[in-house]
Amino acid sequence: MLICRVVGSIWATRKEDHLKGFKFLVVQPETLGSFDTQQPVFIAVDRIGAGIGDQVMVTRGTPATFIHHEETVPIDALVIGIVDSVDIASGDSQ
């Protein structure tokens, strides 16, 4: 999973079937620790009430569809948690 920040929302009226009612957020992978290269934003489905500014955990790929929905849906990213806290050890963890 990636640690991301919710930075926006996106709307599409004309959609593939089976996607009505899904909420789509724009998320930005966070730069943490010694890695500070910006990565591109992408879109994730949210079913747990995340909002702009929230730090979230995002699952990508087929597992994003393992949501026990009544049918499979063509999505590839899902917000699976809203982060309470993240502890990164300092550089001496080696």
Structure tokens at 4: 């991301």
C-alpha to C-alpha distance for 2 and 25, rounded to whole angstroms: 14
Q: Quick check: 66 binds its own copies (CB under 8 A)?
A: yes
SS3 25: strand
Helix (H, G, I), strand (E, B) or coil at 57: strand
Count of residues touching its own copies (by CB under 8 A) = 72
Shortest Cβ distance from residue 56 to its own copies (Å)? 8
User: CA–CA distance from 53 to each of 9, 30, 67, 82 (Å)?
Assistant: 11, 12, 24, 11
Q: How far is the CB of 67 from its own copies (least distance, A)?
A: 6
CB of 12 vs its own copies, minimal distance in Å: 3
Q: Is 69 in the site for its own copies (CB under 8 A)?
A: no
* 2-41: contacts with its own copies (CB under 8 A): 2-3, 5-19, 24, 26, 28-29, 31-35, 37-41
